[in-house]
Every structure is written in structure tokens, then in C-alpha cells.
Amino acid sequence: MKKDGAMEVVMSQQLEELQEKIEYHFTDEKLLRNALTHSSYANEKHWPYEKNNERLEFLGDSVLGMVVADYLYRAHPDLPEGDLTRTRAALVCEGSLVEVAQQLGLGAYLKLGKGEDAGGGRTRPSILADAVEAVLAAVYLDGGIGSARKIIRRFILDREEEKRASRDYKTCLLYTSP
């Protein structure tokens, strides 16, 4: 029992640290815990599927895509649809999300199963990108679209010009798993 209590204190400290990094504090911290729980961990604990981050990842992907598309549409009235699509793809691709995860040190906060952890899951691009999307969905559910938009702006959109000018869109394909 003492061991579980000590682990809970460490987890709470980690959650607080991550909330400081993203500059958002959850009303319902369970959402953040869920966003950081990989299916491998939930499976080891025999938890139901809704205790892992996959459903949040699904929602986060859409929230991210909508916020980025809205921003690009409004910020670049001169760009044709093809350029908007390519820019959005570069901003929301796995490689871009991995950069966000690395900036936040997100891998250290993830709950992974023993095998996934031992196999390098904390640095696996797909796991990191999925976790970013899950965290965005958790913020959206907890604080609404405005809160999610602030985080997306800070970590993704504020770097849009740099990415649009210098990013080779094929780079995103390097992070895409077959």
C-alpha cells in the first residue's frame, strides 16, 4: 500500500509538471491521466478499452485538424486550396507531432506496458504523436476548443511560417509507418 501511495505522489507531481509545460491546468485530471495511458499499460492492468488513450487520440486528431485548417484559412486568404492542404499536412503530420512531444518531454510521462517500455516505446514516433493528439483531446474535453486552440497555437501554429518555408513535405513520410 505504501508503494502505491508513493507512486501516486510521483505521478501527481509529473502531471503537475506537464500541466505547467503546456500552460493548462485540468479541472478533471482523469482526462490527462487517460491521455497518457497507452493501450499496452491498460492491457497489462486488464482495464477496459476506454481507460487507454486511443479514443482520445481519435478525437484529438480531428480537433487538431480543424483548428489548424481554420487558422490557415483565416491567416492566408491568398493561398489556394492545394497550398493550404500541403501546409496543414505538414503541421499535423506525425513528424510535427513528434517534435511537440519531444519539446514537452512527453515520453517520460507516458504509462506504457513493460514490453512497450522495454522496446523503446517512449521514443517511438507513432506513440509520441498519438499521445500529443490524446492530450489535445483531453484539453478540449476539459476546457473547450479555446483552450485546445491556445495549446495548438503555442506548440504548432506559432512555428507555421518556419515550417511552411523550410519543411520538405516528404519529411513527414519518414515518420509514417507502413
Which residues form the catalytic set?
Answer: 61, 133
Q: Which long-range contacts (CB under 8 A, 24 or more apart) does 141-148 make?
A: 141/28, 141/31, 141/56, 141/59, 142/26, 142/27, 142/28, 142/31, 142/32, 143/24, 143/26, 143/27, 145/63, 145/67, 147/24, 148/63, 148/67
Query: 23: alpha, beta or left, given left = phi > 0 and alpha = psi -120 to 50?
Result: left
